[in-house]
C-alpha cells in the first residue's frame, strides 16, 4: 500500500475494528474483559511456540502489561490497551510499497534468476546481450487475459489463484508484471519477513503480513478490515482462496471463505459511499508446474491421518535457500515451462462478468448486481446473507479451477502410472501402498504408452469441451513423447526417483510423490479410464 | 435504484391443489396473493366465482387471491414467489418466470421431486434458470385436502439465507399451520423425494396383506436409508427426523390415496411396472425418484437394500416376491 493510504488506513481501520467490538459490548454480546482475556490466553499459547527474537520479545512485554491491566486496571486503561492492541496488529500487517523498488525488482529479478539458471555459458550470454534469458520466457499465461485487462480498468480485482508452492506468489508477481499491471497487494506469511532481504523486497512489492499463528478474533478482524479498506481504496489484491498449499497435489476442492468475503463488504461500502468505481471482480487463476518444490513434505503431511495434518508448515523445502536454488536450477535446466491460466471474471455474488463489467445469470440474462443487496430499492446490511453470497462465489471459483486445470506431461503420465501400479497391487489398501513406496514390478513401456494414449484421447475431448486445459506438449505429442518428456522430471529433483525407466520398463521408488503428481487429475472420474 | 416500487403482494406460481392451498394459507394471514395459473378459464373461475372447481369444489377461496395468467404481473407485484408446479414442468416454468425476475426476488420451491435425466433438485434448477439467489424450499407432511379443511399441520422452510426463512415464516405461520426453519436445503429436498420410494414399498406391503409390523419395518428402513444417502450428499442427519423427513414419510406411506401407494399396490397384484402405471393413470413420482436415488447411491458408494429392491422391481424386471425375499435376507451383522 502506498504511504498516504497507509496513513489513512492507520486511522480508519482501527476505528472500524473498535467500532465492531464496542458495538458487541454495547449490545451485551461480549465484554471488554472477555475479549482481552481471550487475546491474552491465545497469544501466550502462541508465544510458547515461537523462537525468541526482537518481535517476540516486544510481544511478551506487551502481554505482561495487558495481563496487569486486565487484573487491576480501570475500564479506561482497558480501553486504552485494547486500542493499542489493534494498532500494534495493524502496524504489523500494513506493508509498505515503494514504486522504485518495484520497478527495480521486476526488471532485475527475472533476468537475475534467468542468468543463474541458464545452462548456456556466460560467453554465449554476453554475445546474446541485450536478449538476456529471463524466467519470463518460461512463463506462459493464457485464458481470459483481455477480460482481466479491461476489468482492471473498470473496477478492483481480487485475483484468486490455486496454491501449490511458496514459489507461487513470486511467479504470480511476475505474471502480473508481464500482463502490464501494477502490483497486487497480497498477504505473505510473517515468517517470510524474518529474512531481511526477503523482507525488504516483500514489503516494497505490495505485500502485507499475515501471521497465521495469531488465532485471536481481534487479529482476524483487523486483518479483514485492512483487506476491505484496501479494496475500497482500489488496491487490487491477491488471495489464495484455498488458504494453504494443496496437500494432496489436487486442485482445491474446498475454500476458506474468510478473506474471500471481504469483496462483498468492500462493494457494499463503495455503494454506500457512492464511490465512482464501486465494483469488485474476482478472477480465478490456475497454475501448473511439472515439479513442485515442496511435493515430498506436502504429500507426507496429507498422508498422515486426516485431522492431524499441519495447517502451517514452516520447515519445508522452501525454507532452505539452497534447496530452492537447486530446484529452480533443475527446473529451468530442463527448460520446464510454467503455465498460468486466467479464469472467467466473477462478481461478488458468484455471477460471471463480461468485459464491460456486466453480470449475467446462468441463462445469460443481464443482472443488476445491486438488486442482490436491496429491498424496495434500498441497500440492506445483512452479514448472514453476505456469507451465503460468498459461498456461491466460492462455488463458482471452484468450478473455474476445475475447468482451467492445466495438465502437463508429468501429471498425465504420473496419473496413468500410479493407476497401473494400483491395479498391480489391488489387494493392498491405497494408503498402505503409498507408504510402502517402492514398486518391484515395472510397467512395460508399451502398456504405459497404450494407457497414456487412451487417457489422452479422453482428455482431448474434455479439453475441446472446455472441461480441462491441456498444455501444448500434452496436446501435440504422441504417447511415447509424452512419456519421455515426463520421465525427464521423474528422477532429477526429488530425493527418490518417483518415475524412471530401466530397459523397457517403468518403475517408481517413491509412490507417495507419484501419487502427489497423479492427484492433479483427481476429481474428474478418470480412474476408470485407465 | 428507484425503479422498483413497493411490492405489496405475494406470488404463487401454479393453480393445482397444493398451489391453491398455499395461496389460501397466505390469504388467511391477510396477504394479497397473486396466483399465476396457466389456464385463462381457471383464472376467471377463481376471480369471479372464488372457487377452483377441479381441486376444491367445496372450498370458497379468499377474496385476497387474484388469479392471473401473466407472470410479469406476479413478478412486478411480489418479492416472495412460491413455485408450485409439477416437477416435470418446473424447469420450463421457472425459465419463463426468470425473464421477469431480478436479484431482489425470493423464490420458494414447494414442489417435491428431482428432475429426471439431470438429477437436479428444484432449488438447483431455480439457480440455473433465473437470476434469483435467495432460494428456499417448503416441505412437510402437507396433504392439501386436509389443510384446506383446517386440520392442524406444520411444515418446514429450508434456505441457506436466514432472511428467506424469516420472511416465509412471517408470511405463512399460523396457529393451524406452524412453519419451522431449517438451513439444510439438500436434506429437505432429498427427503421429500425419497419418501415416494418408501410409499411404493408400503403399497406393495398393503397389497400383499401385510400388517402394521411390516409398515413400521419399511418406514424405519426407508428413514435409515434416506439418512445414510443424505449424509453422504452433505445433508444433516437431523433433517430426516424432522417434519420434512419422518413427518412427510408417515403421511405419504399411510395415505392410501397416494399415487405411489396405489402404484405399489398394483405391482403387488402381479402387474408389470408399465401396467401398474396405466392403472394409476397419473404421474407416480416414486418411479423417477427410484432412478434418481439409485443413481445417487451408486455415485456415493452407499448400499441401500430397500431402495435397490424397489429400483430393481421397476427397472430390472425383478419380481415383487423375489424383492421381498431379498430384502428379508439382509445379513444381520451389517
Rounded CA separation A448/A439 (Å) = 15
Give the nearest chain B residue to A361 (CA atoms): B131
Task: Please name the residues in contact with A81: beta carbons below 8 A apart, sequence gap of 6 or more.
Answer: A36, A65, A66, A69, A73
Residue B183 pLDDT: 97
E strands present in A100-202: 139-143, 156-161, 185-189
Cβ(A179)–Cβ(A145) below 8 Å: yes
Cα A157 to its chain centre, rounded Å, is 15
**Nearest CA-CA distance, residue B307 and chain A, Å:** 24
Residue A506 pLDDT: 96
Grid coordinates standing for B202? 408400503
Q: Collect all residues of chain A within an 8 Å Cβ-Cβ radius of residue B128.
A: 362-363
Give the nearest chain A residue to B101 (CA atoms): A367
Q: Collect all residues of chain B within an 8 Å Cβ-Cβ radius of residue A368.
A: 102-103
Longest Cα separation, chain A:
80
Output the CA torsion A98→A102→A103→A105 (10° steps). Answer: 140
Give the nearest chain B residue to A382 (CA atoms): B163
Mutation for B interface: A254, A274, A377, most B CBs within 10 A? A377
Domain ranges of chain A: 3-93, 139-402, 406-529
Give the nearest chain A residue to B160 (CA atoms): A388
Cβ(B195)–Cβ(B243) below 8 Å: no
Please state, as a whole number, how many other Cβ atoms lie within 10 Å of the Cβ of residue A137.
Answer: 14
User: Nearest by CB to B103, which of A371, A382, A391?
Assistant: A371
Are A391 and B160 inside 8 Å of each other by CB?
A: yes
Q: B10 φ, ψ to 5°? A: -125, 135
Mutation for A interface: B78, B94, B101, B102, most A CBs within 10 A? B102
Ramachandran region of residue B117, left (φ > 0), alpha (ψ -120 to 50) or beta? Answer: left
Grid coordinates standing for B207? 397389497
Residue A202 pLDDT: 64
Q: Kindly give the parts of chain A with pLDDT less than 70.
A: 95-135, 191-205, 305-322, 324-325, 331-333
Q: Collect all residues of chain A within an 8 Å Cβ-Cβ radius of residue B163.
A: 382, 384-385
Q: Collect all residues of chain B within an 8 Å Cβ-Cβ radius of residue A358.
A: none
Are A372 and B103 inside 8 Å of each other by CB?
A: yes
Please state, as a whole number, how many other Cβ atoms lie within 10 Å of the Cβ of residue A320.
Answer: 12
Rounded CA separation A5/A434 (Å) = 51
Q: Collect all residues of chain B within an 8 Å Cβ-Cβ radius of residue A370.
A: 1, 103
Give me the residues paired with residue A340 across strands: A141, A287
Q: A529 φ, ψ to 5°? A: -85, -5
Helices (H) and strands (E) in chain B, counts: 15, 8
Per DSSP, B302 falls in state: -
Q: Collect all residues of chain B within an 8 Å Cβ-Cβ radius of residue A377.
A: 1-4
Residue A432 pLDDT: 82
Please state, as a whole number, how many other Cβ atoms lie within 10 Å of the Cβ of residue A98.
Answer: 17
Name every residue in B having a CB less than 8 A away from some CB of A. 1-7, 79, 95, 98-99, 102-104, 127-131, 133-134, 160-163
Per DSSP, B244 falls in state: I
Give, in order, the Cα–Cα distances in Å from B50 to each of A501, B11, B29, B34, B81. 83, 17, 17, 14, 21
Are B131 and A391 inside 8 Å of each other by CB?
A: no
To which H or E segment does residue B150 belong? none
Mutation for B interface: A371, A380, A382, A387, most B CBs within 10 A? A371
Query: Could you tell me which of A464, A377, A465, A450 has the C-alpha nearest to residue A419?
Result: A450
Interstrand relation of A156-161 and A280-288 (parallel, antiparallel or unpaired): parallel
Task: Please state which of the four CATH numbers 3.40.630, 3.40.1130, 3.40.50, 3.30.1450 is assigned to the domain occupying A139-402.
Answer: 3.40.1130
Are B98 and A372 inside 8 Å of each other by CB?
A: no
Residue whose C-alpha cell reads 506493508 in the numeric block: A95
- The residues of B annotated as belonging to the active site are 195
Task: Please name the residues in contact with A308: beta carbons below 8 A apart, sequence gap of 6 or more.
Answer: none
User: Nearest by CB to A377, which of B1, B134, B163?
Assistant: B1
Rounded CA separation B85/A55 (Å) = 64
User: Nearest by CB to B102, which of A368, A375, A378?
Assistant: A368
Q: What angle separates helix B185-207 from helix B212-232, to the nearest 10 degrees?
A: 150
Are B163 and A350 inside 8 Å of each other by CB?
A: no
Rounded CA separation A404/A527 (Å) = 19
Residue A197 pLDDT: 58
Average pLDDT along chain B, 334 residues, taken 10 residues at a time = 64 96 96 97 97 94 97 97 94 98 97 88 97 97 90 96 98 95 97 94 93 92 96 94 95 84 94 93 87 93 94 93 81 51
Give the nearest chain B residue to A377 (CA atoms): B1
Residue B5 pLDDT: 53
Residue A119 pLDDT: 41
Cβ(A23)–Cβ(A232) below 8 Å: no
Average pLDDT, chain B: 92
- Domains present along chain B, CATH in parentheses: 9-183 (3.40.50.720), 187-328 (1.10.1040.10)
Please state, as a whole number, how many other Cβ atoms lie within 10 Å of the Cβ of residue A50.
Answer: 12
Please state, as a whole number, how many other Cβ atoms lie within 10 Å of the Cβ of residue A163.
Answer: 20
Are A375 and B79 inside 8 Å of each other by CB?
A: yes
Residue A126 pLDDT: 47
Are B160 and A368 inside 8 Å of each other by CB?
A: no
Grid coordinates standing for A381? 446490511
Cβ(B84)–Cβ(B15) below 8 Å: no
To which H or E segment does residue B83 belong? strand B78-83
Cβ(A237)–Cβ(A216) below 8 Å: no
User: Nearest by CB to A349, which of B2, B6, B133?
Assistant: B133
End-to-end C-alpha distance for chain B, whole angstroms: 60
Rounded CA separation B42/B56 (Å) = 12
Are A361 and B163 inside 8 Å of each other by CB?
A: no
Amino acid at each position: 500500500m502506498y504511504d498516504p493510504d497507509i496513513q489513512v488506513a492507520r486511522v480508519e481501520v482501527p476505528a472500524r475494528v473498535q467500532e465492531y467490538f464496542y458495538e458487541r459490548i454495547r449490545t451485551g454480546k461480549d465484554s471488554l474483559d472477555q475479549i482481552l482475556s481471550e487475546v491474552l490466553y491465545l497469544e501466550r499459547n502462541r508465544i510458547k511456540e515461537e523462537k525468541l527474537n526482537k518481535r517476540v520479545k516486544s510481544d511478551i512485554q506487551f502481554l505482561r502489561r495487558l495481563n496487569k491491566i486486565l487484573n487491576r486496571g480501570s475500564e479506561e486503561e482497558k480501553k486504552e490497551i485494547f486500542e493499542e492492541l489493534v494498532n500494534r496488529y495493524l502496524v504489523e500487517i500494513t506493508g509498505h510499497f515503494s514504486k522504485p523498488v518495484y520497478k527495480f525488482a521486476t526488471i532485475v529479478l527475472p533476468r537475475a534468476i534467468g542468468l543463474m539458471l541458464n545452462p548456456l555459458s556466460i560467453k554465449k550470454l554476453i554475445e546474446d546481450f541485450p536478449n538476456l534469458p529471463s524466467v519470463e520466457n518460461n512463463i506462459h499465461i493464457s485464458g481470459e487475459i483481455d477480460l482481466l485487462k479491461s476489468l482492471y480498468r473498470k473496477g478492483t480485482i481480487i485475483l484468486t489463484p490455486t496454491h501449490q508452492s511458496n514459489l507461487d506468489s513470486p511467479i504470480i508477481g511476475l505474471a502480473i508484471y508481464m500482463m502490464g499491471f501494477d502490483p497486487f497487494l497480497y498477504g505473505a506469511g510473517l515468517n517470510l519477513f524474518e529474512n531481511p532481504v526477503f523482507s525488504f523486497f516483500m514489503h516494497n512489492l505490495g505485500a502485507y503480513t499475515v501471521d497465521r499463528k495469531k488465532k485471536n478474533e481481534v487479529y482476524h478482524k483487523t486483518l479483514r478490515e485492512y483487506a476491505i479498506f484496501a479494496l475500497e481504496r482500489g488496491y487490487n489484491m491477491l488471495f489464495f482462496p484455498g488458504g494453504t498449499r494443496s496437500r494432496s497435489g489436487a486442485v482445491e476442492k474446498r475454500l476458506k471463505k474468510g478473506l474471500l468475503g471481504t469483496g462483498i463488504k468492500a462493494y457494499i461500502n463503495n455503494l454506500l459511499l457512492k464511490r465512482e468505481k464501486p465494483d469488485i471482480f474476482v478472477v480465478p487463476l490456475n497454475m501448473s508446474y511439472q515439479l513442485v518444490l515442496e511435493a515430498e513434505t506436502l504429500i507426507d503431511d496429507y498422508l498422515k491421518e486426516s485431522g492431524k495434518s499441519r495447517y502451517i508448515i514452516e520447515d519445508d523445502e522452501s525454507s532452505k535457500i539452497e534447496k530452492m536454488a537447486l530446484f529452480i536450477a533443475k527446473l529451468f535446466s530442463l527448460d520446464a515451462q510454467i503455465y498460468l491460466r486466467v479464469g472467467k471474471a466473477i462478481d461478488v455474488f458468484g455471477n460471471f462478468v463480461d468485459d464491460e463489467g456486466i453480470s449475467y445469470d446462468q441463462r445469460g440474462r443481464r443482472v443488476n448486481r445491486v438488486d442482490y443487496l436491496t429491498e424496495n430499492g434500498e441497500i440492506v446490511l445483512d452479514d448472514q446473507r453476505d456469507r451465503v453470497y460468498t459461498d456461491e462465489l466460492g462455488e463458482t471459483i471452484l468450478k473455474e479451477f476445475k475447468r482451467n486445470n492445466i495438465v502437463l506431461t508429468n501429471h498425465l503420465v504420473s496419473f496413468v502410472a500410479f493407476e497401473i501400479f494400483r491395479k498391480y497391487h489391488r489387494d493392498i489398501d491405497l494408503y498402505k501402498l503409498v507408504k510402502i513406496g517402492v514398486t518391484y514390478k515395472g510397467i512395460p513401456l508399451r502398456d504405459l504408452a497404450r494407457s497414456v494414449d487412451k487417457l489422452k484421447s479422453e482428455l482431448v475431448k474434455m479439453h475441446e469441451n472446455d472441461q480441462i486445459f491441456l498444455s501444448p506438449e500434452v496436446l501435440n505429442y504422441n504417447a511415447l513423447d509424452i512419456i519421455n518428456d515426463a520421465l525427464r522430471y521423474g528422477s532429477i529433483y526429488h530425493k527418490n526417483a518417483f518415475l524412471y525407466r530401466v530397459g523397457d520398463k517403468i518403475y517408481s521408488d517413491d509412490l507417495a510423490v507419484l501419487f502427489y503428481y497423479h492427484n492433479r487429475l483427481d476429481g474428474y472420474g478418470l480412474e476408470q479410464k485407465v | 435504484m428507484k425503479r422498483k416500487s413497493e411490492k405489496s403482494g405475494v406470488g404463487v406460481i401454479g393453480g393445482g391443489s397444493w398451489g391453491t392451498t398455499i395461496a389460501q394459507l397466505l390469504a388467511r394471514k391477510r396477504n394479497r396473493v397473486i396466483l399465476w395459473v396457466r389456464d385463462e378459464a381457471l383464472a376467471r373461475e377463481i376471480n369471479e366465482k372464488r372457487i377452483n372447481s377441479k381441486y376444491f369444489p367445496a372450498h370458497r377461496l379468499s377474496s385476497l387471491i387474484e388469479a392471473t395468467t401473466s407472470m410479469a404481473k406476479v413478478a412486478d407485484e411480489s418479492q416472495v414467489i412460491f413455485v408450485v408446479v409439477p416437477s416435470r414442468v418446473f424447469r420450463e416454468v421457472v425459465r419463463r418466470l426468470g425473464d421477469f425476475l431480478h436479484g431482489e426476488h425470493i423464490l420458494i420451491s414447494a414442489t417435491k421431486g428431482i428432475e429426471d435425466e439431470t438429477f437436479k433438485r428444484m432449488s438447483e434448477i431455480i439457480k440455473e434458470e433465473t437470476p434469483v439467489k435467495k432460494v428456499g424450499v417448503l416441505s412437510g407432511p402437507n396433504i392439501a385436502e386436509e389443510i384446506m379443511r383446517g386440520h392442524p399441520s406444520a411444515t418446514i422452510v429450508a434456505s441457506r439465507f436466514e432472511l428467506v426463512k424469516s420472511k416465509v415464516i412471517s408470511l405463512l405461520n399460523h396457529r393451524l399451520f406452524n412453519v419451522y426453519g431449517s438451513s439444510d436445503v439438500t436434506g429437505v429436498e432429498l427427503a421429500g423425494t425419497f419418501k415416494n420410494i418408501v410409499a411404493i414399498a408400503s403399497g406393495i406391503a398393503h397389497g400383499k396383506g401385510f400388517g402394521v409390523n411390516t409398515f413400521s419395518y419399511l418406514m424405519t428402513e426407508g428413514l435409515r436409508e434416506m439418512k445414510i444417502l443424505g449424509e453422504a450428499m452433505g445433508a444433516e442427519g437431523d433433517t430426516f427426523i424432522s417434519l420434512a423427513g419422518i413427518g412427510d414419510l408417515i403421511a405419504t406411506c399411510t395415505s392410501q390415496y397416494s399415487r405411489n401407494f396405489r402404484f405399489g399396490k398394483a405391482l403387488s397384484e402381479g402387474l408389470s411396472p408399465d401396467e401398474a402405471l396405466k392403472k394409476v393413470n397419473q404421474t407416480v413420482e416414486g418411479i423417477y425418484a427410484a432412478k434418481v436415488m439409485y443413481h445417487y447411491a451408486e455415485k456415493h458408494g452407499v448400499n441401500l437394500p430397500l431402495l435397490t429392491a424397489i429400483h430393481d422391481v421397476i427397472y430390472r424386471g425383478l419380481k415383487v416376491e423375489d424383492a421381498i425375499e431379498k430384502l428379508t435376507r439382509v445379513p444381520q451383522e451389517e
